[in-house]
């Protein structure tokens, strides 16, 4: 069955695009046909992180409005055979639930196993639209107070939608700052947001380096974040794995 996963956050810059790109890459490496949708209209950058800026022509709104089919619009990754990208429009037109559902129906017909949606920060229109069709959601937070408060707000909004499973990823974790009490510890963060944990990703400069030049981090196999992203992909895929100790 197709799983549709909306990646959201309260505050901006917590790592939604990095989580989307790397978890999708890990799922596609496991042999799952995976579609990523950039839902951050105007500010879109998932194509840069995936090194696919030259291959995107059509956006999810073109597919939603039946201007092109998903098959025509989804760009295939040059190295990862099972990974496809649908980018965001420069300006979001008015779209309804049926039009968004049409994208998901086409993804089913094309035998995609996962659709992962890189949402904008906060409670933007795209988050509300894609929440209508998501079966799961990942709320990405960092361990600082502002990110956690934002994650808690967005979690309550997503709980009001018909999403079966909502989990947290705590990103850019720096153990020394947790020990000094500057960053919250993982248990406290889970309590505060009121959601179960899907994964913990360490601060890792390889994420920045690969994201900036479009190199595939998962293939590079360098640094702690790769293991964390692969573990998150395994858990999404139903494998029971302990949370990595950072």
Ligand X SMILES: Nc1ncnc2c1ncn2[C@@H]1O[C@H](COP(=O)(O)OP(=O)(O)OP(=O)(O)O)[C@@H](O)[C@H]1O
Q: What residues make contact with ligand X under the rule CB under 6 A?
A: 9, 12-18, 40, 121, 171-172, 201, 203-204, 207-208, 211, 225
Q: Output the CA torsion sign for 128, 130, 131, 137.
A: negative
Are 99 and 65 within 8 A, CB to CB? yes
Residue 157, classified by CB atoms within 10 Å of its CB into exposed (0-12), middle (13-18) or buried (19+), is: middle
Q: Does 17 engage in binding with Mg ion (CB under 5 A)?
A: yes
User: Under DSSP, is residue 70 helix (H, G, I), strand (E, B) or coil?
Assistant: helix
Choose the contact partner of 119 out of ligand X, Mg ion, none; CB within 5 to 8 A by kind: none
Query: Could you give the 3-state DSSP secondary structure of residue 215?
Result: coil
Nearer to ligand X, 15 or 184 (CB): 15
* Range in contact with Mg ion (rule: CB under 5 A) among 8-16, 61-69, 184-192, 203-211: 8-16
**C-alpha–C-alpha distance, residues 197 and 187, integer Å:** 9
Q: What minimum distance in Å lies between the beta carbon of 178 and Mg ion?
A: 24
> What does 207 interact with, of ligand X, Mg ion, none (CB < 5 to 8 A by kind)?
ligand X
Residue with tokens 């904008």: 120
User: Please, what is the minimum distance in Å from the beta carbon of residue 195 to Mg ion?
Assistant: 20
Q: Is 41 in the site for Mg ion (CB under 5 A)?
A: no
Residues contributing to the site for Mg ion (CB under 5 A): 16-17
């Amino acid at each position: 069955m197709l799983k549709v996963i909306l990646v959201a956050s309260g505050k901006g810059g917590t790592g939604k695009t990095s989580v989307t790109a790397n978890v999708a890459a890990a799922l596609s490496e496991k042999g799952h046909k995976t579609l990523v949708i950039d839902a951050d209209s105007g500010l879109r950058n998932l194509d840069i992180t995936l090194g696919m800026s030259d291959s995107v022509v059509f956006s999810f709104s073109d597919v939603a409005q039946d201007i092109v089919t998903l098959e025509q619009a989804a760009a295939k990754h040059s190295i990862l055979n099972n990974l496809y990208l649908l980018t965001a429009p420069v300006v979001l037109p008015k779209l309804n639930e049926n039009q968004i559902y049409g994208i998901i129906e086409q993804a089913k017909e094309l035998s995609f196993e996962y659709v992962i949606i890189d949402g904008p920060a906060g409670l933007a229109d795209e988050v509300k639209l894609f929440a209508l069709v998501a079966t799961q959601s990942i709320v990405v937070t960092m361990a600082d107070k502002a990110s956690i408060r934002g994650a808690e707000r967005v979690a309550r909004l997503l709980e009001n939608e018909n999403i079966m499973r909502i989990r947290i990823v705590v990103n850019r974790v720096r153990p020394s700052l947790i020990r000094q009490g500057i960053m919250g510890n993982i248990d406290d963060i889970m309590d505060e947001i009121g959601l179960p944990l899907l994964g913990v990703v360490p601060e890792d400069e390889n994420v920045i380096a690969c994201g900036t030049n479009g190199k595939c981090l998962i293939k590079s196999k360098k640094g702690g974040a790769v293991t964390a992203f692969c573990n998150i992909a395994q858990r999404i895929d139903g494998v029971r794995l302990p949370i990595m100790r950072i």
